Amino acid sequence: MNNSTSGEFEGYKPQSIKILKKFGAKTWSRIKIKTKTLSSEGIILPRNQFAPDGYVEIKLKNGYNIGIPLDSTTNIEVLSQEPKMEVKFDSKVKILKNKKLPNITLLGTGGTISSRLDYVTGAVIPAFEPAELFTAVPELSDVCNLDTDVVFKIFSENMKPKYWLELAKNIAKKANSGVDGILIAHGTDTIAYSSAALSFLLSDLKVPVVLVGSQRSSDRPSSDAAINLINAATVAGNADLAEVVVSMLGSSAHDYGFIHRGTRVRKMHSSVRHAFRSIDTIPLGMVRNGNIKFFTKDYKRRPKNDIETIAAENIEEKIGLIYGYPGISSELIDFYVDKGYKGLVLAGTGLGHFPVDTFDSLKRAVDEGIPVVMTVQTIWGYTGMDVYEPGRKMQAIGIIPGQNMIPEVAFAKLSWILGNYNDPKEIKKLITTNIAGEITERESMNGYQILQGVEDQIKTLKKF
């Protein structure tokens, strides 16, 4: 048996194992350890098998993990041998229905919100069934009756347009079954792509569709999974809303969540828990302690009459998203054309600029019937292709200004349009028409100063 991957020294390599053996320590030993620079106490964790030799990793009393270098001066005192740490949930638990609470369906796709830490590989892996999430967050029993279903078990970077279509069809089926709301457990990295795509793929929504994720896995003390699930379930079950939205933490204090429109939201930080922002506008509203407050009246409400939610029939997967940068080669655009891509979204610099060197290739794409949409990589603001001569030339070529669509939203919208429409005039009209709040008439006065805009709203909600 290789002790570096299993047994008493999971993930550790020869140098570390030699020192641990000297003091009778092994994985899951509670120890006091002293080195030249520190003294600490914790439980020895299995080591990431790809990590370098010469370290021990321990879990501190506060729940955080640290790596400590081992050498000839290290002293270890073994205090006890602890059982192997595992986060266990009973996926077969019987969930009693409360007739006074809304009925919600949670569709699982994977991601950190439904993951745990694999100590041996050091990776966060999709592991929990959605029903196990309910067991992990018992407060949900005070919010809703929750049914669960697994659609995918993937990290969000592995999401594909064809999965959006499958998810949309699942949502339509569940919505038409009579549930009061739908939750989508999703990885945060591409949750904004999916929320945008579902906003276009679903029509005649009659209940909220709330995408929710977490920045930190459920087995970590700092996890935001529980509060995000509770907030999202509150919105899905109780909000007078019939749109696709994203519900995630809204402040560094982690005391409330925001409700972001599915076509105007973006992940703006790689790791903080309040990473999501509404772009060019403020969030639709917020949720705190089971209460929902909307900041605007500009949202779709639950219909008074029963209607049928419909999912689109098709989606186009061969859509390219190209960011402009200094020195970009026209060969990149030619590549997409040669490979038979059906649509292109450009994320241009400034007001929607691309180098003049690419114009011939862009014209070739348009001449071959490929819709090309210009957006801005600045995130906030509109395309302004009438301001400078190159922008006017690109419009003459046939490049379509995407107004203030976020690049990934334009990508999802074009996937939906080209999967379901063929007429070039209708395609161009749909691209430039506000379908699901993806285009705003003008940037809010608080658009760029988004945090100040939100803070101004929250100041009026002291009693909320």
Phi, then psi, of 240 in degrees rounded to 5: -80, 80
Are the CB atoms for 90 and 134 separated by under 8 Å? no
In the chain, how long is the greatest CA-to-CA distance?
A: 77
Q: For tokens 């020192």, name the residue.
A: 19
* Number of neighbouring beta carbons within 10 Å of residue 130: 22
Give the span between the Cα atoms of 246 and 207, in whole angstroms.
14
Closest CA to 377 of 410, 346, 348, 412: 348
Q: For tokens 């049928």, name the residue.
A: 308
Tokens representing 341? Answer: 């891509």
Phi, then psi, of 60 in degrees rounded to 5: -80, 170
- Helix, strand or coil, per DSSP, at residue 49: coil
Catalytically annotated residues: 112, 188-189, 267
Are the CB atoms for 350 and 390 separated by under 8 Å? no
Closest CA to 168 of 313, 320, 319, 308: 313
300, exposed or middle or buried, with CB in 10 Å at 0-12, 13-18, 19+?
A: middle
Give Cβ neighbours of residue 396 (< 8 Å, ≥ 6 apart). none
Write out the DSSP string of 9-22.
GTT--HHHHHHHHH
The amino acid occupying position 362 is: L
Are the CB atoms for 250 and 292 separated by under 8 Å? no
Closest CA to 170 of 196, 193, 148: 148
Give the span between the Cα atoms of 198 and 51, in whole angstroms.
40
Write out the DSSP string of 394-432.
HHHHTPEE-TT--HHHHHHHHHHHHHH---HHHHHHHHT
- Helix, strand or coil, per DSSP, at residue 264: coil
